[in-house]
Amino acid sequence: MENGHAPVQPTANTYAIMLLAWLRFNPDSASPTQTAAAEGHDPISLLRSIISRQVSPALVVADRAFTTNEEATQAIKALSRAAVQMGLSSVVNELGLADSLGRQVDDPLENVPEAIPVMKPSKRREDGTVSELATENPPPLPEGDVPFNLDTLRRHLGQVVLARRVLSEDVVLRQRLLEQSVYNVAVERMKRQAELFDQLGLPNKSLHSTDLRTWMWHWHQKLQARIEAEIQNLEVEERIIARLKRKPKDGMLLTPFLRLLKPEKLSLITILELMHLHGSGGVQDGMKTARALLSVGRAVESEYKAEMCKKNNISVPTSTPARAGDQNIFTNLGYRDLHARRVAARKYMEDAEEWTTEWTQLVRVKVGSFLVDCLMDVATVQRSIKDDRTGEILTEEQPAFFHSYEYQRGHRLGVIKLNPAVAERMSKDPIAETLHPRHLPMLVKPKPWLSYNNGGYLYNRTWAMRFKESREQELYLRHASDAGRLELVFAGLDVLGSTPWKINKNVFDVVLQVWNSGERFCKIPPAVPDEPEPERPPNMEFDNKARAIYLERQKAWQQAKASNHSDRCSINYKVEIARAFLGDTIYLPHNVDFRGRAYPIPPHLSHIGDDLSRGLLLFGEAKPLGERGLRWLKIHLANLYGYDKASFDERVEFVHEHLEDIYDSAERPLEGRRWWTKADDPWQCLATCIELRNALESPEPEAYECALPVHQDGTCNGLQHYAALGGDAVGAAQVNLAAADRPSDVYTYVAKMVEKSIEEDLARGHEFAKLLSGKVSRKVVKQTVMTTVYGVTFVGARDQIERQLKDRGDIPPEQCWLAASYLAKKVLESIGDLFKGAKEIQTWLNTCARLIAKSIPQDRLVQSLTEKHISRGRRSSQPRWKKEQMTSVIWTTPLGLPIVQPYRAAKRKQVMTALQTVFISDPNVPSTVNSQKQASAFPPNFIHSLDATHMMLTALECRARGITFASVHDSYWTHPSSIDQMNAIIRDTFIALHSSDVLGALAQEFRERYADYKVPLAAMRGLGMKKLTNELSRLNVCPDDIKLLQESEAQAEDEEAKDEDGVVDLTEDDDADFDEDAEKPKKKRPANDDIEGRLASTFVNLVDILPPLPQKGVFDVKAIKESQYFFS
């Protein structure tokens, strides 16, 4: 019948019989039978025939040939596996629906209502166009359109749910389905929408033409044909060029890259990428041309590599290289064993891969230009307008995109703009992002990290580090990976990614009920903004002050309204994802930022998210509480409620006193007294109330199986590292490194100091002292105190405090800015000498970074001074060596991770395209460093690399002892019963880290890495010459040159002091219209050129002028073992 030899055609019954025969007699069955016919009729072959003959797979599995439920279930699973391997997600959906009609197993989503999606308010006119809904009394829940990105999410997650019904046991196949290309999902969406309008047969096509997804479908149909034709023309041109033996334009052939994907896929990528970039880069109703071309090129590259991975059916090692029970990974022998295992696994993977090398920026731009140019030629929209005089409807076909230029900061910028009709629809149907597999948790353990760009998701390429177009970072990481120096970092990421999670059903039910009610509740914004619009003052026209206040409040109201919608969409993502994964065990693959800090790759729902995200998550496995676990569960509840500055015994007593409230919260979270809603972290508090109530109500509370994560948080962890580095006894006592009966709270200490200072101003009748008296809480000053040792400026501190004052709600918004200026000055003054040791280390780090950023390798310096200068136009007045200042601050963490600060002056490259000449920032082109940013960012980046190292060491040691572990930077999570063990590990790893002379090792690395680097004497102005004078004298630098630099330094300090005085005086000024961004008059520097000219040929060795390490204090880091509140 298949070959057409029989007079009849195969039916659903025919395929059902063949499938049943294969199930009963295939080689792996109980009664294997080897026949020639059976070999050609496996499930994949049968499914291919079923689809080619347009037979419904659901009819096949529902056929009477299957006499038992077991046989029908086996048939559904066999065809579902075949569909996943063939990339047919629609078939999996159909089989999932068929299974749901006849299944008898429990469904985790049974009786769970759907989440009401966020709606964009709209109403339709008679002609079908859409306008904003404007009513004085809005309904409790708006009616309208689901935003495109949320609708896509709901449909994609619907596939997850259907796949679980037919592949409940095969999570690897479900993960593969989950990672199916986003473009396959998008094309089905657009095609279905277009078919729907065609079926309606609307006589008035204006409704048809104003639907965004329908437009996109018609563009797609025209664009794929255009791409195929243009590629064929390009191939002819390239063959002629090759026959004439001429060099192709830009030295590259384009068709080999364009033929990597089918025209259909190229078309979809181009359309979706351009729509995603709408409104980006500060361009209204459009996007920057250079960014658009690069994004399209990069998306084509990524999709090709994902297809290669799926095509080759790359199998994934199931065991992670870091195994539980590995006690010796920190020894030389253990490390070599870990490295050998990982190299073997990587070799196994690479043998099955066909990855091409990384594309260059030029290739990406050229590919993007070709595709975008094609789209702009074929994409059109139909616009209609009614003639007011005749009543006639006039229709015109217009381009959907057009090229233009805009001016930004005095520079002409090429932009791609959207037709106003498209832009209007985009404002109502925003495509923030089409869901990518990287945005969802995994159903299986992530692929172990085998190299710097191989790990995490099974079929989508992911990098171990998040580097932002920094070629230098990638090269250092690749070199360290190839040399086998990153084994502990990879093992740490494997530990974090292999921690199993599940959705907390009890909390989710409450969240879903609150969400569907549309009311404002516990950090969930309302469906309809409930803040009243500011009233327009009657004297606004002639009272400038009243007008200014009204406009300020109106602006704040508009921002709050937009923020409400944005927050609501964000929570909608979390709720939809949590609902889709109810009943599943999920995993969160991790990678690190350039400082080594680990982050889950899925951004929407993970434990690093907000309170709601954390409240929705439990560990995937439960462990008995035990006596100590029950105690830690109570302490954890007190911490979440905000009662975290008392002793542990007092926190336990706090919980005992509120047991009635805890039971009421757990049993009647919405109908009762709602005690849990007053907590600092209400959703996590609710989860803990439920868990504690269940434990206490169980027959044996200490035997209760608990899956709730309990946290141990560092006390201002950055300051803890500074105090340990400097041996600062005073700082150590403030951040709980030293043993004490009660926990210290440095934020409250500073807040009280500020309040005392305000009281003194209040006695003198100061205006802002009256406004702020009694309102300076711990929360107001916390962020500023925390970031002081990271080098926060006055402006930064003022912005932080302004946000906190606005959140309080009891200070007029128009006065928050000036009040924050006054308060920031007080906070910075009050800190004073409190962190003296930390300040000294910060100054040392800052000075080292400044010198390094100004240095030049000796070979480059010699070359720049001896090579002939080729003049191109106007001659530059800058010395030649200034162009050679390209040295980044680079250091290696104790785990072997190289850290490269990416701060450089942007250097753009000109590329000719069909649209325009674009300038792209090519990471492969050398450029000078931003020395100021290198210096100011080094102290915080170095401390962050230390806390990341401490976390990784703790994760590895917990895995070695069989302890479940998760972390949010300096907050470490485990089961309640494991807290005591983890606490001991936290202290041991911290002591081990800081017993290794971290700063001494850093100084030694600088001396070795920058051994032959030179610093121009002229570049040392502003680097603290007073401290370097003795060093320069010892290096036999001319006394006259030293004196010249000292005078220059003194002049710079005087000007800086004047600037600071100007900023401080502003806090007393009533002028709220001060513009920080206004251009300041340039300082006169008559002597600078003279100084530079006299010192142009004088250079000193960098290692000779690096400042000495600050003297270490008397605090012994081993004392941390006795501090019970170090992490608590």
pLDDT value for 539: 83
Q: Which of 445, 782, 839, 1014 is catalytic?
A: 782
782 carries an active-site annotation: yes
- Going by their DSSP bridges, the two strands 590-593 and 465-466 should be labelled as parallel
pLDDT value for 930: 87
pLDDT value for 678: 94
Count each helix (H run) and each strand (E run) in the chain, helices first.
Answer: 42, 28
- Rg of the chain, C-alpha, whole Å: 33
Average model confidence (pLDDT) for the chain?
A: 78
- CA-based nearest residue to 989, from 111, 389, 175, 329: 329
Say if residue 900's pLDDT is above 70: yes
pLDDT value for 975: 96
Would you state the structure tokens that stand for residue 611, as one six-digit string? Answer: 């309170």
CA–CA separation, 23 and 43 (whole Å):
9
Would you state the structure tokens that stand for residue 993, as one six-digit string? Answer: 């880290």
pLDDT value for 481: 92
CA–CA separation, 593 and 945 (whole Å):
10
CA–CA separation, 39 and 34 (whole Å):
8
Summarize the confidence of residues 149-159 as an average pLDDT: 59
pLDDT value for 917: 62
Most confident of 1054-1068, 1088-1102, 1105-1119: 1105-1119
Which is higher by pLDDT, 800 or 876? 800
Q: Helix, strand, coil proportions of the chain in percent (round to 5)?
A: 55, 10, 35
- CA-based nearest residue to 802, from 768, 766, 852, 753: 768
pLDDT value for 1084: 43
Summarize the confidence of residues 399-423 as an average pLDDT: 78
- HEC states along 535-563? CCCCCCCCCHHHHHHHHHHHHHHHHHHHH
Say if residue 335's pLDDT is above 70: no
- CA-based nearest residue to 446, from 313, 321, 619: 321
Gap between the terminal Cα atoms of the chain: 73
Helix (H) or strand (E) holding 124: strand 123-124
What tens digit of pLDDT does each residue of 448-487 get? Answer: 998 888 888 887 778 899 887 677 888 899 999 999 899 9
Say if residue 92's pLDDT is above 90: no
Instruction: Map residue 357 onto helix, strand or coil.
Output: coil
959 falls in which pLDDT band (50, 70, 90)? very high
Which is higher by pLDDT, 912 or 1067? 912
836 carries an active-site annotation: no
Which is higher by pLDDT, 944 or 157? 944
Say if residue 309's pLDDT is above 50: yes
Which residue pairs from 1070-1079 have beta carbons closer than 8 angstroms and sit at least 24 positions apart in sequence? 1070/818, 1072/548, 1072/814, 1072/817, 1072/818, 1076/795
CA–CA separation, 705 and 653 (whole Å):
23
pLDDT value for 493: 95
Question: Of 24-33, 296-305, 587-596, 617-626, which range is least confident?
Answer: 24-33
924 falls in which pLDDT band (50, 70, 90)? low
Cβ neighbours of residue 89 closer than 8 Å, sequence gap 6 or more: 83, 159, 177, 180, 184, 185
Say if residue 257's pLDDT is above 80: yes
Would you state the structure tokens that stand for residue 200, as one six-digit string? Answer: 């309606």
Q: Which of 63, 211, 664, 970 is catalytic?
A: 970
In the chain, the amino acid numbered 558 is Q
The partner residues of 624 in beta bridges, in order of sequence, read 705
Question: Of 516-520, 893-897, 914-918, which range is least confident?
Answer: 914-918
pLDDT value for 1062: 35
pLDDT value for 886: 84
Would you state the structure tokens that stand for residue 130, as one six-digit string? Answer: 């859409």
Summarize the confidence of residues 28-47 as an average pLDDT: 72
pLDDT value for 783: 85
CA–CA separation, 69 and 149 (whole Å):
39
Summarize the confidence of residues 546-574 as an average pLDDT: 84
Say if residue 756's pLDDT is above 90: no
535 falls in which pLDDT band (50, 70, 90)? confident
pLDDT value for 634: 95
Planar angle of CA 1071, 1076, 1082, nearest 5 degrees? 115
Centroid of chain to Cα 110 = 33
Say if residue 169's pLDDT is above 50: yes
**751 vs 220, 778, 824, CA distance in Å?**
60, 6, 12
CA–CA separation, 758 and 774 (whole Å):
9
Which is higher by pLDDT, 300 or 2? 300
Can you tell me which residue has the tokens 């880091």?
A: 1117
CA–CA separation, 108 and 64 (whole Å):
29
Most confident of 28-37, 142-151, 851-860: 851-860
Cβ neighbours of residue 882 closer than 8 Å, sequence gap 6 or more: 928, 1019
CA–CA separation, 570 and 563 (whole Å):
10
Cβ neighbours of residue 349 closer than 8 Å, sequence gap 6 or more: 314, 316, 317, 450, 454
Would you state the structure tokens that stand for residue 865, as one six-digit string? Answer: 């001074």
Summarize the confidence of residues 516-540 as an average pLDDT: 86
Quick count: other Cβ atoms within 10 Å of Cβ 814?
16
Say if residue 327's pLDDT is above 70: no
Say if residue 1031's pLDDT is above 70: no
Most confident of 353-362, 596-605, 814-823: 596-605
Summarize the confidence of residues 1070-1095 as an average pLDDT: 44
Summarize the confidence of residues 903-930 as an average pLDDT: 68
Alpha carbon dihedral 902, 903, 908, 911, in 10-degree steps, equals 20
Q: Is the dihedral of CA 267, 268, 272, 273 positive or negative?
A: negative
- CA-based nearest residue to 841, from 755, 933, 771, 943: 943
Alpha carbon dihedral 925, 928, 930, 931, in 10-degree steps, equals 150
Q: Which of 713, 799, 980, 1116 is catalytic?
A: 713
H-type alpha helices, 277-353: 289-311, 332-350
- Going by their DSSP bridges, the two strands 917-921 and 908-912 should be labelled as antiparallel
What tens digit of pLDDT does each residue of 50-77 get? Answer: 888 778 787 787 777 887 777 888 888 8
CA–CA separation, 639 and 976 (whole Å):
14
Percent with pLDDT over 90 in the chain: 24
Summarize the confidence of residues 772-796 as an average pLDDT: 82
Cβ neighbours of residue 201 closer than 8 Å, sequence gap 6 or more: none
pLDDT value for 1059: 40
Say if residue 855's pLDDT is above 80: yes
